[in-house]
Amino acid sequence: MARDELLRQRWDTLLQKLSKQFSDGDPLDLDGVIYLIGVQELGQLNRRFKKDEKVNLMHIAICRLLEPYGYYEFDFFDEDGWPHYTLVESLPTLKAGEQSVLMKEAIVQYFIEKKYIE
């Protein structure tokens, strides 16, 4: 099976599973999945977040997702339990479609590592 086809199948499976579990079946989009990862990484699952905190959660998720690619490195947890990352290498200039593929690959790999999907 081609790499792109495998990614598409895994992404579709992941979206179906996450949408069923977290949005009453309403389809999640890429940003919604990134937000969920941020909440998971923060570990404060049962609370409401302010708008600026939601942006920070998405930033945490992106850093965590791109860490295995060598773009970010975990630095420390602050006194409120929020993880902080250091930029190791600037992200390459990518077209919108290329950015989407990179993020989907990173997200699928994240959920494979968490044993949420195969």
Element (H, E) at 69: none
Supply φ then ψ for residue 82, to 5 degrees.
-85, 130
R_g of the chain, CA atoms, integer Å: 15
pLDDT at 3 over 90: no
Q: Are 42 and 69 in contact (CB under 8 A)?
A: no
Q: Where are the domains of the chain?
A: 3-20+30-113
Q: What is the pLDDT of residue 1?
A: 58
Mean predicted confidence (pLDDT) in 1-30: 88
Q: For residue range 42-75, list pLDDT tens digits in order.
A: 998 888 999 999 999 999 999 999 999 999 999 9
Per residue in 83-105, is it b (16+ CB within 10 Å) or e — as a string?
bebeeeeeeeeeeeeeeeebbbb
